Amino acid sequence: MPRRPAATLAGPLTRLLLMPLDPRGQRDSSVNSPIDDGSDDSPRHECGIAALYHLPGATSPLCPPQGPEEASRLMPRMLLDIQNRGQLSTGMTTWAPGRDLLLETYKELGGVSEAFRLSHRGKAEALMTRYAGRAAIGHVRYATCGKEDLNFAQPFEHRHLQKRKWFAFGFNGQLANYGTLRDEILATDEHHVALKSDTEILMHELARQRSSEHLPPGAPQPSLIDVMRGVGERLDGAYSIALLNAQGEMLVARDPIGLKPVSYGLQDNLFAAASESVALLNLGFEPENIHALGAGEAVTIVDGQMKVERYAPSPRTAHCFFEWVYFANVASTLDDRSVYLARKALGEELAANETLELDADTVVVPVPDTSKAAADAMAYKLGIPSVEGLMRNRYSGRTFIEGGDARLAKVTSKYTPLRQVLEGKKVLLVEDSIVRSTTMRALIGRLRDVGRVREIHVRVACPPIVAPCFYGIDMSTVGELFAPRFLAENQDLESAYAAMAEELGADSLRYLPVESIARAIKKPAGDLCQACVTSDYPTAEGQRLYQIALSDAASGNGAARTYEGAGV
Ligand SMILES: O=P(O)(O)OC[C@H]1O[C@H](OP(=O)(O)OP(=O)(O)O)[C@H](O)[C@@H]1O
Ligand SMILES: NC(=O)CC[C@H](N)C(=O)O
Ligand code: SF4
C-alpha cells in the first residue's frame, strides 16, 4: 500500500489540532399545491436541475402525446433520473404563453414520486394538466444551505410586472461567498433577507442584474447572457443554474470552473438540459446529441433560437471528483467520462493496492449501492467472488444526502447482513467513501453479530476525506469528518489506518491514494476539484473558508455550516 509521506500529514491536519489560526474575523406565494389528498403531509426530511423546451417547428417524436404545449409532462421523468442528487424537495416551473400566470411554480417536500403523486394516476394527471407548459425547469433539492422546509424548495420564482424581469430559477451547488454577499446586501438598512440561504442571495443577484438601474441611461436592456455575465463576476463557488422568464426565454449556465456537471442536447426541436446525462438519455436523446456544457458557458433560448455562449472566462476547470465517486447516477457520463467506468477503475486501483493474504474463504462485499461497481471490479481483478452479503432495502433512500440527526437509525435499518453468505468469511468490505463514518459504524458490528463474519477488512474506493466542502456537498466543517483526527494524531498513514480500524471495530482499513482519482476519472488532477482530500481549494473563497473551518475546529466554536457563519 503506498504511503503518503509524513510531511503531508504534518500539514493542515496537524495545524488543525495544534495551532489555532487567526479567528475569523412562509411559505412562498408562488407555491401551488392544489391537490389535497387528505393524507398527512407533515414535512418529511429527506440538488439537481433540469430544463425542457419545445422549440417552434415540427413536433418532436419525443414530445408527449398531448403536444408541444405540454412538453412539461416530461419533467417528472427527468427529475426521477437525477433523484440521486436530492430527495428533500421537488419542484417545477412551467411557461405557458396562454395562461394569466405566464410562469407557474409547483413544489413540494419529498421525492419526485411523492411530490408529483406518481403512484396516483388521477392526481398526477391533474398536476400535469394544471401545470402544462411548452417550457419547464425542474429541481430536486439536497440542502446545503438554509433549512429543510418548503420555503427553501426550488425553483424560486420572482414575480414582476415586466415580463423580462419575472423569472424562476433552480440551482445546484453552493455559493462559497454566500456570507459575504449576504452581508453586503444587509449593509443597506433598506434591505432584508427573508431566508438564510444562498438561493435567495442568488435570486437577488439575478434580479439586480436583470434590472437596468445599474446601467448608464439609454443603455439597452440586459439580455439573459448579460445578466449571467454580471452575476458570474459576483459569485465564488459552485452553481449550475436553470432559469426561465415570463417572456419564454431560458438560460442554463455552468459555473466558470465547472464544479457541478450539466448536460444538454437538442433533438428534433426538443431542447433538454440536466445536471446529469442520464436524464436526457432516458428521454430518448441519442448519445451523440448529449453534450457536456463547458465551464463558464451558458445555453440560452431567446425568440425560439438556442445558442451556446461563454459568459465568463474559464482559466481552469475543477470538476468535483466526488461526483464520480459517490454523488452522480452510475448511468451518467459527466464531462465525457462515464461514472460507471470511473467507479470500476477505482475498484481496480483498490485491487492493485491490495496486500492482504487471500484464502479460499475471502470474499468481496460491497456496501450497496454506490460501491457496487468498484467492489465487483476489485473482486474480478483479485480473482475472488464479489457477493451480496449486505442487502440494502431498496425502498430506503440515500442516507448521506438526507443528513439529519436520525441518520444513524436509518443506516442501521437500511442494510441486512446475510449470514447464509457471510458466516466464516474473511470479508473485504468495499465502501465508496467514508465521510462521517455513520455507515461504517452501523455496519461492522452487525456484520459480526448477524453475519458472523470471520474478519472484516474495510477498503475505501476514495482517499480519506480530510477537509470540508464549500461547493455543494454538505460537509462544511472539519469537526464532522471522520479522518482528520486520526491523520493528525498519528505519525504515518499505516498507524492512522490502524487506529481508524480499531475505532470502527474492523480488522484492517485502507483508502485509495489521491493519485488514483485522476487515473480513474481519466482527467489531469489539475482539471479536478479534490479539495476535500487534498485541502487545496480551487477558489479564493474556498481557501478563506478552509482557514475559518480549521480555526473553528481548533477552538471548538463555529457555525453548523462554515459558510453560513462566515461573513465579510
Ligand atoms: O461515512 P458516512 O458519513 O456514512 O458517508 C458515506 C456513506 O454515505 C453514502 O451512502 P448513502 O446511503 O447515501 O448512499 P447509497 O445507498 O446510494 O450508496 C456513501 O455511499 C457511504 O456509504
Ligand atoms: N445541493 C444543492 O445544490 C443545494 C442548493 C442550495 N445551496 C440549497 O441548499 O438549496
Ligand atoms: S471539496 Fe470535494 S466534494 Fe466539494 S466540490 Fe471539491 S471535490 Fe467535490
pLDDT tens for 231-243 read 999 999 999 999 9
Using CA atoms, how far apart are residues 317 and 528, in angstroms rounded to an integer?
Answer: 7
pLDDT at residue 377 tops 70: yes
Q: Residue 147 — pLDDT band, cuts 50, 70, 90?
A: very high
pLDDT, tens digit, for every residue of 61-78?
Answer: 999 999 999 999 999 999
- The fraction of the chain above a pLDDT of 90, given in percent, is 83
Average pLDDT of span 318-344: 98
pLDDT at residue 477 tops 80: yes
Q: Residue 406 — pLDDT band, cuts 50, 70, 90?
A: confident
**Is 6-22+334-562 in CATH node 2.60.120.10?**
no
Instruction: Find the residues whose C-beta lies inside 6 A of ligand 3.
Output: 259, 320-322, 469, 471, 473, 529-532
pLDDT at residue 46 tops 60: no
Lowest mean pLDDT: which of 30-39, 206-215, 333-342? 30-39
Domains of the chain by residue range:
6-22+334-562, 48-172+240-315
Residue 4: how many CB atoms within 10 A of its CB? 17
Does the ipTM exceed 0.90?
yes
Using CA atoms, how far apart are residues 532 and 436, in angstroms rounded to an integer?
Answer: 13
Using CA atoms, how far apart are residues 381 and 99, in angstroms rounded to an integer?
Answer: 59
The reply to whether 462 belongs to the active site is no
Average pLDDT of span 456-461: 98
pLDDT at residue 568 tops 80: no
Q: Residue 31 — pLDDT band, cuts 50, 70, 90?
A: very low
Lowest mean pLDDT: which of 25-34, 304-313, 331-340, 353-362? 25-34
Q: Is 89's C-beta closer than 6 angstroms to any atom of ligand 2?
A: no
φ/ψ (deg, to 5) at 455: -140, 150
pLDDT of residue 405: 67
Point out which residues pair with 457 in neighbouring strands: 428, 508
Q: Which three cell numbers stand for residue 176?
A: 462559497
pLDDT of residue 214: 75
| C-alpha of residue 475 to centroid of ligand 3, in Å | 9
Q: Which atom of ligand 2 is nearest to the CA of 146?
A: 9
pLDDT of residue 398: 86
The pLDDT mean for the chain works out to 91
Count CA within 13 A, CB hemisphere, residue 44: 16
Distance of CA 447 to the CA centre of its chain: 30
pLDDT of residue 218: 82
The three-state secondary structure class of 517 is helix
DSSP assignment of 233-281 equals HH--EEEEEEEEETTS-EEEEE-TT--S--EEEEETTEEEEESSTHHHH
Non-local (6+) Cβ contacts of 225 within 8 A are: 251, 298, 300, 309, 311
Non-local (6+) Cβ contacts of 193 within 8 A are: 182, 185, 186, 200, 201, 204
User: Is residue 320 annotated as involved in ligand binding?
Assistant: yes
**DSSP secondary structure code for residue 386 in this structure:** B
User: Is residue 145 annotated as involved in ligand binding?
Assistant: no
pLDDT at residue 506 tops 50: yes
Non-local (6+) Cβ contacts of 250 within 8 A are: 51, 53, 135, 137, 224, 242, 243, 244, 271, 299, 300, 301
Q: Which three cell numbers stand for residue 175?
A: 455559493
* Strand 250-254 relative to strand 237-245, pairing: antiparallel
Using CA atoms, how far apart are residues 82 and 74, in angstroms rounded to an integer?
Answer: 13
Instruction: Find the residues whose C-beta lies inside 6 A of ligand 1.
Output: 326, 367, 369-370, 398-401, 431-439
Helices 372-382 + 339-353 axis angle, to 10: 40
| C-alpha of residue 395 to centroid of ligand 2, in Å | 24
pLDDT at residue 420 tops 70: yes
Ligand nearest to the CA of 538: 3
Average pLDDT of span 142-151: 95
> Is residue 114 packed enough to be buried (19+ CB in 10 Å), middle (13-18) or exposed (0-12)?
middle
* Strand 319-320 relative to strand 103-109, pairing: unpaired
* Nearest in space to 139 (alpha carbons), one of 173, 103, 90: 90
* Nearest in space to 47 (alpha carbons), one of 144, 158, 116, 115: 144
| C-alpha of residue 532 to centroid of ligand 3, in Å | 5
User: Is residue 529 annotated as involved in ligand binding?
Assistant: yes
- The CATH class of 48-172+240-315 is alpha beta
pLDDT of residue 212: 72
| C-alpha of residue 470 to centroid of ligand 3, in Å | 7
Q: Residue 400 — pLDDT band, cuts 50, 70, 90?
A: confident
Total number of residues shown for the chain: 568
pLDDT of residue 476: 96
The three-state secondary structure class of 463 is coil
User: Is residue 469 annotated as involved in ligand binding?
Assistant: yes
Sign (positive/negative) of CA torsion 490, 492, 495, 496? positive
Q: Is 260's C-beta closer than 6 angstroms to any atom of ligand 2?
A: no
**Of residues 47, 63, 145, 462, which has the active-site annotation?**
47
